[in-house]
Structure 1
């Protein structure tokens, strides 16, 4: 049974299982990247196998693409799909207005493109991702390699005049070198502590030469599905005001994804 999972992983799985019910045969679906999104892919794979669910998916990273193919989900590119019925993805933080910080898993650029090319975005998360104000989680900013030190300096100078608690921008590292995104770029993680005006920050960051995209998702998320360690799931639709709480009974499932970030 799912009792063998940690409370956080049970919460992620519960949220993913609840969100998978939004997916219907014939849909074109964006698949996010990260630990919670990986649970979703597994849940959809089970539905493909057991129910004959017929969907076409657009993955937001090479990792998600590999997992989707592994569990039997047909994948395509966004250029081929053109427009999606919905995207389901995780988040590193979300606030009461369902604004998000994303990019902990390093796929924020493709995630934002796919999410904005969808009729709806559903976010799945465990309860620890809910915050009153964004900013405790470092904000990822994808930048090109050319002039990266200058871009970093410009970002820190910009932050000094904005309503944030910190201004430090650190290059993301992996295996002793700079992290490289699927698009061949790098990521600066901004340690802000608190973001007083997320909408303003999202706009001004993208005006800096060298910045490709930032991890603030403003007015993109439509539905939040929040899982809890006891199996309860809260769902909130910001457009309709609909809210409900259900309990998801998890089957036994291998804990394969606890080391990934959203």
Structure 2
């Protein structure tokens, strides 16, 4: 493989390695996630060949991944047609030592979580900047929370005054006047939490999810089976679930 330089090379390396190890010939229903690493996932899948891919169906998590599937001339499906997915590969904004993730920087985390939970195997691909010990260390924007529009103000109030995120804010669009609107016609709140509050992401997820008006939370807990991180030196760090533990290993640069 001719590796790209810098961060893009790290993303490509993680994506290629994960596809080689987890998108196998017998896999027929494949979930394609969102984010800047995912185009390299589709690129590597295409390199597996037309004959193999013509018998597969690919399920997108949002507009970006749908367009990637269409542009690659792969068979497009929907999760309401295929309730069980062989494997889903997706990016992440941050991953902790136990493979809990923050996702939703691209406002696709509702559909991403549906495809993650529908998959027999859920695999994360990212560059080294997303590899952390605790959530919130590197991704400072906060936990993405999809909310129904008419409830966003009350959810914001509860996040700030009850759950301990005083800087929670409605995500605003950059190229239009007004808030970001998800593929599901909802709004997104970004809620930063202190280390003490986010150190148990499963508990925090439950508390946020119980707020009326919340559709989904960008905390992915106890879902991923493995995460692949491309590094600056051309190596790949792999974190994978083995029994009740998360094992970390490294593949040296080739």
Establish whether TM, by shorter chain, passes 0.5: yes
- 1:260 is aligned to none
1:183/1:48 CA distance change after superposition, 3 Å: farther
1:40-189 map, 5 Å:
40-49=41-50, 52-53=52-53, 54-136=55-137, 137=139, 138-160=142-164, 166-174=165-173, 175=175, 176-189=177-190
1:167/1:246 CA distance change after superposition, 3 Å: same
| CA distance in structure 2 between the aligned counterparts of 1:229 and 1:199, rounded to whole angstroms | 31
The offset of 1:139, in angstroms, is 0.9
1:245 correspondence with 2:250: yes
| CA distance in structure 2 between the aligned counterparts of 1:123 and 1:66, rounded to whole angstroms | 20
The offset of 1:2, in angstroms, is 4.7
Aligned CA-pair RMSD: 1.9
Segments of 5+ residues of structure 1 without an aligned counterpart are 161-165, 250-262
The superposition leaves residues 91-130 of structure 1 with CA deviations (integer Å, 9 ceiling, x where unpaired) of 1111111000000111000000110011111111111111
The offset of 1:229, in angstroms, is 2.3
TM-score w.r.t. length of structure 1: 0.86
1:21-40 map, 5 Å:
21=20, 22-27=22-27, 28-40=29-41
1:72/1:25 CA distance change after superposition, 3 Å: farther
The superposition leaves residues 214-252 of structure 1 with CA deviations (integer Å, 9 ceiling, x where unpaired) of 000000011111111232112232135665433566xxx
Contact 1:151/1:208, CA 8 A, preserved across alignment = yes
Moved more, 189-198 or 113-122: 189-198
Moved more, 135-144 or 233-242: 233-242
Contact 1:223/1:235, CA 8 A, preserved across alignment = yes
Contact 2:233/2:253, CA 8 A, preserved across alignment = no
Q: Secondary structure at the match of 2:210?
A: coil
1:172-211 map, 5 Å:
172-174=171-173, 175=175, 176-194=177-195, 195-211=198-214
Q: Secondary structure at the match of 1:119?
A: strand
1:213-252 map, 5 Å:
213-239=216-242, 244-247=249-252
Segments of 5+ residues of structure 2 without an aligned counterpart are none
How many residue pairs match? The answer is 242
Contact 1:102/1:215, CA 8 A, preserved across alignment = yes
| CA distance in structure 1 between the aligned counterparts of 2:88 and 2:34, rounded to whole angstroms | 11
